[in-house]
Amino acid sequence: MVTIDRNACNRCGDAKEKRCERICPGDLITQDEGGWPVVRPREDCWACTACVKECPVAAISLRLPFQIEQGAGVSLKASVKGDKTSWTITDHRGKEEKFTLRAVRKIVS
Ligand code: SF4
Ligand code: SF4
Protein backbone atom coordinates (compact mmCIF):
# COMPACT_ATOMS: atom_id res chain seq x y z
CA MET A 1 0.00 0.00 0.00
CA VAL A 2 1.39 3.44 -0.89
CA THR A 3 1.24 6.75 0.92
CA ILE A 4 1.60 10.13 -0.78
CA ASP A 5 3.14 12.89 1.32
CA ARG A 6 1.43 16.15 0.41
CA ASN A 7 4.20 18.14 2.07
CA ALA A 8 6.65 16.72 -0.49
CA CYS A 9 4.38 16.35 -3.55
CA ASN A 10 4.36 19.32 -5.92
CA ARG A 11 1.52 17.88 -8.02
CA CYS A 12 4.03 17.56 -10.87
CA GLY A 13 3.91 21.30 -11.35
CA ASP A 14 0.14 21.15 -11.80
CA ALA A 15 0.49 18.94 -14.89
CA LYS A 16 -2.86 17.75 -16.13
CA GLU A 17 -1.79 14.12 -15.79
CA LYS A 18 0.59 13.41 -12.92
CA ARG A 19 3.58 11.13 -13.39
CA CYS A 20 2.39 8.72 -10.72
CA GLU A 21 -1.06 8.71 -12.27
CA ARG A 22 0.32 7.88 -15.71
CA ILE A 23 2.60 5.06 -14.62
CA CYS A 24 0.34 3.02 -12.35
CA PRO A 25 -0.41 -0.19 -14.27
CA GLY A 26 -3.67 -0.64 -12.43
CA ASP A 27 -4.97 2.91 -13.02
CA LEU A 28 -5.30 3.26 -9.27
CA ILE A 29 -3.97 6.81 -8.99
CA THR A 30 -6.39 9.62 -9.75
CA GLN A 31 -6.72 13.23 -8.62
CA ASP A 32 -9.00 14.71 -6.00
CA GLU A 33 -10.89 17.96 -6.49
CA GLY A 34 -7.78 19.94 -5.56
CA GLY A 35 -5.57 18.16 -8.12
CA TRP A 36 -3.75 16.09 -5.49
CA PRO A 37 -2.94 12.49 -6.40
CA VAL A 38 -4.88 9.85 -4.51
CA VAL A 39 -4.78 6.05 -4.65
CA ARG A 40 -8.19 4.47 -5.04
CA PRO A 41 -8.95 1.86 -4.00
CA ARG A 42 -5.85 1.54 -1.87
CA GLU A 43 -6.38 -2.15 -1.16
CA ASP A 44 -6.04 -2.91 -4.89
CA CYS A 45 -2.42 -1.71 -4.93
CA TRP A 46 -0.14 -4.70 -5.41
CA ALA A 47 3.03 -2.85 -4.38
CA CYS A 48 4.75 -2.90 -7.76
CA THR A 49 6.69 0.28 -6.74
CA ALA A 50 6.31 1.90 -10.19
CA CYS A 51 4.86 5.11 -8.73
CA VAL A 52 7.43 5.14 -5.91
CA LYS A 53 10.26 5.14 -8.47
CA GLU A 54 8.53 7.55 -10.85
CA CYS A 55 7.92 10.41 -8.42
CA PRO A 56 10.64 13.03 -8.98
CA VAL A 57 10.48 14.36 -5.42
CA ALA A 58 10.23 11.04 -3.51
CA ALA A 59 6.80 11.93 -2.16
CA ILE A 60 5.48 8.38 -2.43
CA SER A 61 6.39 5.68 0.02
CA LEU A 62 5.39 2.08 0.13
CA ARG A 63 4.21 0.31 3.25
CA LEU A 64 5.78 -3.08 2.93
CA PRO A 65 3.65 -6.21 2.57
CA PHE A 66 3.08 -8.18 5.76
CA GLN A 67 5.36 -10.98 4.62
CA ILE A 68 8.44 -8.86 5.22
CA GLU A 69 7.17 -6.10 7.49
CA GLN A 70 8.52 -6.25 11.04
CA GLY A 71 6.17 -3.74 12.61
CA ALA A 72 4.07 -0.65 12.10
CA GLY A 73 5.66 2.31 10.34
CA VAL A 74 8.01 0.41 8.07
CA SER A 75 8.30 2.16 4.71
CA LEU A 76 10.24 2.19 1.46
CA LYS A 77 11.09 5.27 -0.61
CA ALA A 78 12.88 5.62 -3.91
CA SER A 79 14.86 8.23 -5.77
CA VAL A 80 15.80 7.66 -9.42
CA LYS A 81 18.86 9.15 -11.13
CA GLY A 82 19.72 7.92 -14.59
CA ASP A 83 19.79 4.14 -14.53
CA LYS A 84 20.14 3.93 -10.75
CA THR A 85 17.42 3.74 -8.13
CA SER A 86 18.36 4.61 -4.56
CA TRP A 87 16.09 3.00 -1.99
CA THR A 88 15.60 4.11 1.60
CA ILE A 89 13.99 1.68 4.00
CA THR A 90 12.85 2.98 7.38
CA ASP A 91 12.15 0.47 10.14
CA HIS A 92 9.62 0.75 12.95
CA ARG A 93 12.21 2.50 15.16
CA GLY A 94 12.85 5.15 12.50
CA LYS A 95 16.26 3.70 11.57
CA GLU A 96 17.09 4.23 7.90
CA GLU A 97 19.02 1.98 5.58
CA LYS A 98 19.91 2.98 2.01
CA PHE A 99 20.88 0.90 -0.97
CA THR A 100 21.23 1.58 -4.68
CA LEU A 101 20.31 -0.72 -7.54
CA ARG A 102 20.98 -0.36 -11.22
CA ALA A 103 17.92 -0.64 -13.45
CA VAL A 104 17.97 -3.42 -15.98
CA ARG A 105 15.84 -2.69 -19.00
CA LYS A 106 14.82 -5.26 -21.54
CA ILE A 107 13.86 -4.25 -25.03
CA VAL A 108 11.01 -6.39 -26.28
CA SER A 109 10.49 -6.42 -30.02
S1 SF4 B 1 4.60 11.99 -9.21
FE2 SF4 B 1 5.12 12.73 -7.15
S3 SF4 B 1 5.13 14.98 -7.35
FE4 SF4 B 1 4.00 14.17 -9.11
S5 SF4 B 1 1.85 14.20 -8.43
FE6 SF4 B 1 2.67 12.13 -8.03
S7 SF4 B 1 3.33 12.23 -5.88
FE8 SF4 B 1 3.11 14.35 -6.58
S1 SF4 C 1 2.67 0.63 -6.17
FE2 SF4 C 1 2.12 0.07 -8.31
S3 SF4 C 1 -0.01 -0.66 -8.17
FE4 SF4 C 1 0.42 0.46 -6.27
S5 SF4 C 1 -0.32 2.54 -6.68
FE6 SF4 C 1 1.89 2.50 -7.17
S7 SF4 C 1 2.03 2.06 -9.36
FE8 SF4 C 1 -0.08 1.54 -8.68
Q: What is the pLDDT of residues 68-79, one digit of tens each?
A: 555 567 788 888
Structural domain containing residue 64:
2-102
Q: Is 82 within a domain?
A: yes
Q: Is 89 within a domain?
A: yes
- The predicted structure's pLDDT at residue 19: 96
Q: Is 107 within a domain?
A: no
Q: How many domains does the chain have?
A: 1
Per DSSP (E only), the strands in the chain are 2-4, 29-31, 37-39, 60-63, 75-81, 84-90, 96-102
The Å distance, Cα 106 to ligand 1 centre, comes to 26
Q: Is 33 within a domain?
A: yes
Rounded distance, CA 100 to CA 40, Å?
Answer: 30
CATH no. for residue 47?
A: 3.30.70.20
The Å distance, Cα 97 to ligand 1 centre, comes to 23
φ, ψ of residue 33 to 5 degrees: the values are -60, -25
Q: Is 108 within a domain?
A: no
Residue nearest to atom 2 of ligand 1 (CA): 55
pLDDT in tens, 36-74: 999 998 888 888 889 999 999 999 998 766 555 555 677
Q: Where are the alpha helices (DSSP H) in 4-63?
A: 11-14, 19-23, 50-54
The Å distance, Cα 99 to ligand 2 centre, comes to 21
Q: Is 81 within a domain?
A: yes
Does ligand 1 come within 6 angstroms of the Cβ of 8?
no
